[in-house]
Amino acid sequence: MIGKKNSPLRGTCGANGRAGFFVVLLCFFMSLSSAWAQGAQHGLALHGAPRYAADFTHFDYVNPDAPKGGALHLSALGTFDTLNPYTLKGVSVDGSGLLFETLMARSMDEPFSQYGWVAESVTTAPDRTWVSYKLRPQAKFQDGTPITPEDVIFSFETLRGKGHPSFRSYYKDVVKVEKIGMREVRFTFRDATNAELPMIVGELPVLSKRDWAGKDFAATTLVSVLGSGPYKIESMTPGRTVTYVRVKDWWAENLPVNKGRFNFEHISYDYYRDATVALEAFFAGRYDYRFENIAKYWALNYTTPAVKEGLIKKQEIKNELPAGMQAFIFNMRRPLFQDRRVREALNYAFDFEWSNKSFAYSAYSRTSSYFENSELAAKGLPSPAELKLLEPYRGKVPDDVFTKVFALPKTDGSGDNRDNLRKAADLLREAGWTLKNGVLTDGQGHPFKFEIIDAEPMFERWTQPLIINLKRLGIEATFRIVDTAQMQNRMDGFDYDVTIGVFGQSLSPGNEQFDMWGSGKADVRGSRNLIGVRDATVDALLEKLVHAESREDLVTVCRALDRVLLWQYYVVPHWYIGTYRLAAWDKFGQPKIAPKYGLAVTDSWWVDAGKAEKINGAQNRR
């Protein structure tokens, strides 16, 4: 799935170093004048002013007096073969973001605001053509060496030149980086139109130039990487376990952006081969909490004595984050999926209503937007503003974009999908496919067959009914489970017919959209354009998106883009849920206020000594 590679702009607030891409910290918004105020500032916002004033002492969603100490045990699936999260090569270890710091820190109770971390202040040009960051004099790496402008410049140039290909996209409009003072670095932009660039650059992870001297940044490595963050690696069994230990006398511990955060003395990850084994390990007390992504498990499996006795607490926590798009993804690089009618037909073969009832106890809602669960999602007919935006592309996009409300095929949930399969068969005949002796063939007699791949066995039960319906249409589809490393390699190289993935979204879409839908990324190894979209209309809309001058314009462009993508039937959409399903051994304290746009367990909870003693005693008696 998308999300197995770290987001290149990821900071250290998340628990999963691999919830990478593909879940990620996708984050960018549109420009407003507050982001371009003159003079040194403590923070930036792309929508209005930053929530927190210059004299703030901590974020509202943390406990500034949280006790330090104790251990947090976590799980991960698959394996890892590198400790560097910022390259294309390899499968990065979970939690690797804990090693590093960024110039600015993003808050989790605002759509997109940043405050000084390694940088004590940020200054933006009146004409929007540059931004500079002044480094804190006390900022230092974990070996005690100071963080310098040279390290920042090295970090930028290395990530853009040798890091994951996404960095080249994010930083493409930065034309110069220079030291302008003992502790200050300036980034000069190509022009003044890409107004989110200060925010993008603010999320730059800072690497040590000295530590990387003579090393191949692009290669995989199991040698611990020097960072300046709150944790360093204490021990590791390659591919199986990793333990991070909190840095003693961490230089940034009492900064306003960090007060009350990173409270655990140790954070460890154990790797499991699949979700079923991992769940049993959780019930056995091998790790401390889990987000449950499998509705069937949530409904049926949490009946163990530990749950009944209240030792494990279940919570469903509502969130206000865009759900994005999880789906079966067609690889448009394959000739088989070039015809839009074929892609639409395959949508009729997926009986979501029956599957949701049978496998998820009707827990899910159908995803019908690439910006699901947000104001950015297209709804109803296009607005006048959307029509005005789309009119120049009439004839280049499906006519339905202008005149119809997009709706996915539906069933009554009974399992009788004959009406939809008839519609699918009609579309396939229109596209030139013929059913002969139960086998669907093209004009040259080639059978319609393809493979669906994923690394998660849990998707097999959702995929098999689709395969059965496709068989009724004369299509031979198979589902193949591949290991994590092979899956990552095949995703990076676009070596699949159909895969399962998530296109994650945020409240502030921007430059990262080029990586998902831009024609220029369709053949770039490791990009998130997994579909292989090559569409001049989409490219034009992406340009309008990153250059929108107001939130209203941004929403209009996103809805128009959503319609164009949806009506091309590039995917068979899955489902979403607007809550976090969290289960945890009851040994933690947590802040009274939860962040609006996330769930900061790893960096805002703490071990409650009294509760932990009770839980440890109960586990030892089992």
pLDDT digits (tens, 9 = 90+) for 288-305: 999 998 888 999 999 999
Sole residue written with tokens 């804990």? 98
User: What CA–CA distance (Å, rounded) separates 604 from 61?
Assistant: 8
User: What CA–CA distance (Å, rounded) separates 618 from 310?
Assistant: 11
DSSP character for 78? S
The CATH number assigned to the domain with range 231-319+585-621 reads: 3.40.190.10
C-alpha distances (whole Å) from 424 to each of 331, 418, 438, 499 are 19, 10, 15, 21
Please check whether residue 353 is in contact with residue 514, taking contact to mean a CB–CB distance below 8 angstroms. Answer: no
**Of 560, 553, 598, whose CA–CA distance to 30 is shortest?**
553
3-37 as b/e: b if 16+ CB within 10 A: bbbbbbbbbbbbbbbbbbbbbbbbbbbbbbebbbe
Q: CA Rg, the chain, in Å? A: 25
Please check whether residue 51 is in contact with residue 137, taking contact to mean a CB–CB distance below 8 angstroms. Answer: no
Q: What is the pLDDT of residues 410-446, one digit of tens each?
A: 999 999 999 999 999 999 999 999 999 999 999 999 9
pLDDT at res. 618:
82
Please check whether residue 364 is in contact with residue 575, taking contact to mean a CB–CB distance below 8 angstroms. Answer: yes
User: What CA–CA distance (Å, rounded) separates 37 from 55?
Assistant: 18
Reply yes or no on whether the pLDDT at 27 is more than 80.
Answer: no
User: What CA–CA distance (Å, rounded) separates 419 from 172?
Assistant: 49
* φ, ψ for residue 134, nearest 5 deg: -100, 125
Please check whether residue 335 is in contact with residue 497, taking contact to mean a CB–CB distance below 8 angstroms. Answer: no
Q: pLDDT band for position 479 (50/70/90)?
A: very high
Sole residue written with tokens 């929530």? 51
Domain 325-576 fold is Dipeptide-binding Protein; domain 3 (3.10.105)
* Region 113-139 average pLDDT: 95
User: What CA–CA distance (Å, rounded) separates 197 from 381?
Assistant: 33
User: What CA–CA distance (Å, rounded) separates 112 from 102?
Assistant: 15
Residue 236 bridge partners (DSSP): 242
pLDDT at res. 255:
98
- Residue 213 CB coordination number (10 Å): 8
User: What CA–CA distance (Å, rounded) separates 347 from 566?
Assistant: 12
Q: What is the pLDDT of residues 329-387, one digit of tens each?
A: 999 999 999 999 999 999 999 999 999 999 998 989 999 999 998 999 999 999 999 99
Type of residue numbered 490 = R
Sole residue written with tokens 């354009």? 529
pLDDT at res. 22:
34
* Token duo for residue 34: 């507050």
Query: What is 28-64+95-212's CATH superfamily?
Result: Periplasmic binding protein-like II (3.40.190.10)
- Residue 336 CB coordination number (10 Å): 17
Q: Average pLDDT of the chain? A: 91
Please check whether residue 154 is in contact with residue 209, taking contact to mean a CB–CB distance below 8 angstroms. Answer: yes
Reply yes or no on whether the pLDDT at 139 is more than 60.
Answer: yes
Q: Is the dihedral of CA 77, 79, 85, 89 positive or negative?
A: negative
Calculate ∠ Cα 334-21-270, nearest 5°: 115
Q: Is the dihedral of CA 63, 67, 73, 77 positive or negative?
A: positive
pLDDT at res. 265:
98
* Region 238-261 average pLDDT: 97
Q: pLDDT band for position 397 (50/70/90)?
A: very high
Please check whether residue 601 is in contact with residue 73, taking contact to mean a CB–CB distance below 8 angstroms. Answer: no
Residue 478 bridge partners (DSSP): 451
Reply yes or no on whether the pLDDT at 20 is more than 70.
Answer: no
- Do the domains at 28-64+95-212 and 231-319+585-621 have one common CATH topology? yes
With residue 162 as reference, give the H or E element that holds it.
helix 149-162
Please check whether residue 107 is in contact with residue 58, taking contact to mean a CB–CB distance below 8 angstroms. Answer: no
**DSSP-derived pairing of the beta strands 266-272 and 71-77:** parallel
pLDDT at res. 196:
81
Reply yes or no on whether the pLDDT at 451 is more than 80.
Answer: yes
* Region 192-209 average pLDDT: 89
Calculate ∠ Cα 263-266-271, nearest 5°: 125
Residue 585 bridge partners (DSSP): 312
pLDDT at res. 47:
66
Please check whether residue 330 is in contact with residue 463, taking contact to mean a CB–CB distance below 8 angstroms. Answer: no
User: What CA–CA distance (Å, rounded) separates 345 from 271?
Assistant: 39
Position with higher pLDDT, 81 vs 23: 81
Please check whether residue 395 is in contact with residue 316, taking contact to mean a CB–CB distance below 8 angstroms. Answer: no
pLDDT at res. 546:
87
Exposed/middle/buried for residue 471 (C-beta within 10 Å: 0-12, 13-18, 19+): middle
* Token duo for residue 496: 């699949």
Which residues lie below 8 Å from residue 399, measured CB to CB, with a gap of 6+? none
pLDDT at res. 531:
98
User: What CA–CA distance (Å, rounded) separates 189 from 403?
Assistant: 40
pLDDT at res. 510:
86
User: What CA–CA distance (Å, rounded) separates 501 from 614?
Assistant: 40
Reply yes or no on whether the pLDDT at 448 is more than 50.
Answer: yes
Q: Is the dihedral of CA 420, 426, 432, 434 positive or negative?
A: positive
* Region 115-143 average pLDDT: 95
Query: Alpha helix locations (H) across 394-532?
Result: 400-403, 418-430, 460-472, 484-492, 512-517
Lowest-pLDDT range of 32-36, 110-114, 337-341: 32-36
- Residue 507 CB coordination number (10 Å): 21
Reply yes or no on whether the pLDDT at 235 is more than 90.
Answer: yes
pLDDT at res. 211:
96
**Of 233, 226, 231, whose CA–CA distance to 261 is shortest?**
231
Reply yes or no on whether the pLDDT at 566 is more than 60.
Answer: yes
Which sequence spans correspond to the domains of the chain?
Answer: 28-64+95-212, 231-319+585-621, 325-576
* Token duo for residue 85: 């999260």
Please check whether residue 483 is in contact with residue 455, taking contact to mean a CB–CB distance below 8 angstroms. Answer: yes
- Residue 579 CB coordination number (10 Å): 11
Task: Report pTM.
Answer: 0.77
**DSSP-derived pairing of the beta strands 130-135 and 184-189:** antiparallel
* Region 321-327 average pLDDT: 91
Please check whether residue 62 is in contact with residue 263, taking contact to mean a CB–CB distance below 8 angstroms. Answer: no
* Token duo for residue 339: 């015809």
* Region 101-120 average pLDDT: 94
Q: What is the pLDDT of residues 520-541, one digit of tens each?
A: 999 999 999 999 999 999 999 9
Beta strands in 226-320 (DSSP E): 231-237, 241-246, 266-272, 289-291, 312-318
